[in-house]
Amino acid sequence: MSRRQFTAPTRGSSEPPDDTGCTVLHVDMDAFYASASLISRPELRGRPVIIGGASGRSVVLSATYEARAFGVTSAMPMARAQRLCPQAVIIEPDHRRYAAISEAVMATFATITDSVEPLSLDEAFLDVAGAVRRLGRPTQIAEQLRDTIADEQGITCSVGVASTKFVAKLASNLAKPDGLIVVPRDEVVSFLHQLPVGAIWGVGDKTEEHLHRLGLRTVADLAHTPVETLQRALGDVSGRSLHDLAWGRDPRSVVPERREKSIGADETFAHDIDDPVRIHRELLRLADRTAARARSAGMTGRTVSIKVRFADFTTITRAKTLRHHTDVSRDIFATARELYDRLGLQRARIRLVGVRLEGLVPSSVAPIQATLDEPEHGWREADRAVDRASARFGAGSVRPASLMPDRPSGSQRERRDLS
C-alpha cells in the first residue's frame, strides 16, 4: 500500500482523511538543529550544510537534507562527513538558539493540550482528545500546529496522526520532511504490514539483522510468525512486544511533561591537553552553558558533577551536592572547579571534560537562595541579563572576561546532551 493513501490532502479538499479516534499526534521538527541554524543564514538554504565543530575529532550534530543525500548522518565523525560531502558548509552549533526555539515550540503545544510528552528538544507526543471540540478534528489541529511553528519559528515540522503512539511516530517519520500523514484507525494493520521490520520502534541494526536471518523482512512477516517462535529467538519480553507492535497493539498513553533528570555539557579536545589553566577555562565555559540551559528550561539543581576522560579513555566522575538549588553559572563553575582541583591531577593528558547539573526541579519549587558575597543585584540577575543579550544578539555576545581571548585551537565544538 502506497504512502500516498495515508497522506493528508491539500487544504480545501472535500475528502479529508478519516481521523476518527486518531487523537495521538507525534510532532517532529525537520532537521531541527540545521533548520534553526539556517534562520540567520538564509543564503545557505538548499545547500548541503553540516552542524558541528570543524575539527576532525568532532561529530555531526545535524545536517540538512541536501547533506544527508550524500550519506551524512548525525553522530557521524566530522572527518568522515567531510569526505562524503566535501562541498558542505560547516556551522558551529548555537545551543542557546536551539533551546529558545524548543521552548517556544513546547509553549505552542501547551496552547493545544495539557497532554504533551516531550521526547527531546525537537519532538513530542500530544494527546488532543480534549481539544477536538474546541479546535476541530485531529488533522485540523495538526495543520494548525504546522502553520504556527512555520510562521512563528521559521522552521518546518512533520506530524503523524494516529490512534497510538507507535503508529503516530512511524507516520511522522514517513512524512518527512514538512509533511503530515494520517493513519486511519481501521487501516493500521495494512499500513504497518507494508513496512520493513527495521521501521518498528526499538528494532536496531542487530535485531534487524537477526530477524533477517530468520527470513523476516517485513512487518507482515513478523506479524504472521508465532509469538512463541519470536520469544525463543529474541527473548520473552522482546518477542511478545514486537509481535504486538506488528499488529498495531500499543497500550501506552501520552505521559505529560517528562522532565529532564540532568542537564550538562561536554567538551572533547582535538588534541589531548595537560594544562590546568585551559581545563579551568573549559569548565567555566561548560558551567556557563549548563546554567543557561537550566534557566531556559525553568529548572534548578542541587548536585554538580564533572566528568574527566583521559587519553587512554579511562573516565572518572565526581559530584557534590549543594545546600540549595541553583541555576547560577558562578555557583556551578565554582563547584566544578573545586571537584576538578581535588583530583590532584599533575600533567595528566586529558581528552574530555564535562559539567552536569543534576537533581533538577522546577525553579518555582526551589527558589534560588542568595549568598553572602552576592552583589546588590545578584549573580542570577546578571546571568539573566546575559541570557537576554544572547537571545537578542546571538550566543557568545556576552561572556565571562576570562573567556574573551580566542579559544584554544585544540578545542572542539561543545556537545550538549540531556538524560
What residue numbers does the annotated binding site for Mg(2+) cover?
28, 122
* Helices vs strands, H then E, count in the chain: 15, 14
259 membership: H or E segment, kind and range? none
Amino acid at 374: E
Q: Residues forming the annotated binding site? A: 28, 122
Measured between alpha carbons, how far is 124 from 25 in angstroms, rounded to an integer?
8
DSSP helix/strand/coil, 389: helix
Residue 144 DSSP one-character state: H
Label residue 151 exposed, middle or buried (CB < 10 Å: 0-12, 13-18, 19+): exposed
Cα dihedral sign, 387-390-393-396: positive
Measured between alpha carbons, how far is 27 from 168 in angstroms, rounded to an integer?
9
Nearest to 260 by CA among 294, 285, 304, 289: 294
Q: Residue 346 contacts by C-beta under 8 Å, 6 or more apart in sequence?
A: none
Amino acid at 158: S
DSSP for 300-362, written as a single string: EEEEEEEEEEETT--EEEEEEEEEEEE--HHHHHHHHHHHHHHT--SS--EEEEEEEEES-EE
Beta strand pairing status for 49-51 and 24-29? unpaired
Residue 123 a catalytic site member: yes
Residue 419 DSSP one-character state: -
DSSP for 104-131, written as a single string: HHHHHHHHH-S-EEEEETTEEEEE-GGG
Amino acid at 386: V
Measured between alpha carbons, how far is 143 from 153 in angstroms, rounded to an integer?
15
Residue 272 DSSP one-character state: E
Nearest to 53 by CA among 91, 82, 83, 98: 91
Query: Which position among 66, 117, 123, 414 bears the catalytic label?
Result: 123
Measured between alpha carbons, how far is 295 from 297 in angstroms, rounded to an integer?
5
Q: Residue 140 contacts by C-beta under 8 Å, 6 or more apart in sequence?
A: none
Contact 307, 317 (CB under 8 A): yes
Which residue numbers are catalytic? 123
